[in-house]
Amino acid sequence: VSTTVEVLYFDIRGRAEPIRLLLEDVGVAYEDKQISLEEWPAIRETTPFRRLPVYTAGDVQIPESFAIMNHLGREHGLLGEDEAARIRCDVTVEAWRDYGNRVANTFGALSKSEADRRAFLETEQPALLADLEAYYLARGTDAPYWAGTAPTIADFAAFHLLEGVANQLPELMVRFGALKEFHDAFAERPRIKAYLTSPRRPAALFYGPDGKIYPRRR
């Protein structure tokens, strides 16, 4: 008996993208329900926290993107091979989540002034990426993963946010050779590679103040 798996989110990559990447990589068939902002008011009141994404598998409904990631991590053995890897997985997820929230606050729909955006780009973002790269380099293995010698949910979270850097700020990406190496290696995973260029993948990265933000280059 196969359970119907559905990811409900907006028609952008956004907070659903690590979930989509994970499902693609493990080869689970899922329905990717992408709604427009016009459709949202009608759906909003049916969701537990009036937010998306919401994941459904049969009778199981889960809001909160990282509750979904943790659930899928338990199902597919993607939470770390030992306690050291589990700790690194948790730390990596939290650190990239903070980074992602700062990017969203700066460039998203309720984004700040041009001066704040410039300050973020010039100072805060490179500093955050430098810290993340230092953490990645201290992983104590040559394996191209953030936590241990096998993929974890942290890799999907990190890869998604690095996709944003690779697409929008290639000149910043080249300053972080190890992050770029991780990104490029992860992009070569066969199912990830197929997904990245598939029509299934939403073209837009996220919603900015004036509508959807698309990759500068691909």
The contact set with ligand GSH (CB under 6 A) reads: 14-15, 44, 50-53, 64-66
Quick one: 50 or 193, whose CB is closer to ligand GSH? 50
CB 18 within 8 A of CB 156: yes
Quick one: 87 or 109, whose CB is closer to ligand GSH? 109
CA 173, 177, 179, 185: dihedral to nearest 10 degrees? 110
Q: If we measure between CA atoms, which residue out of 164, 40, 44, 147 comes closest to residue 102?
A: 164
Q: Is 156 exposed, middle or buried (0-12, 13-18, 19+ CB in 10 A)?
A: buried
**Smallest separation (angstroms) from ligand GSH to the CB of 98:** 12
**Smallest separation (angstroms) from ligand GSH to the CB of 118:** 24
**Smallest separation (angstroms) from ligand GSH to the CB of 50:** 6
Q: Is 136 exposed, middle or buried (0-12, 13-18, 19+ CB in 10 A)?
A: buried
Quick one: 95 or 173, whose CB is closer to ligand GSH? 95
**Smallest separation (angstroms) from ligand GSH to the CB of 43:** 10
CB 53 within 8 A of CB 29: no
**Smallest separation (angstroms) from ligand GSH to the CB of 143:** 28
Tokens of 202: 């939403």
CB 54 within 8 A of CB 63: yes
**Smallest separation (angstroms) from ligand GSH to the CB of 29:** 22
The b-or-e profile of 51-62 (16+ CB within 10 A means b, else e) is ebbbbbbeeeeb
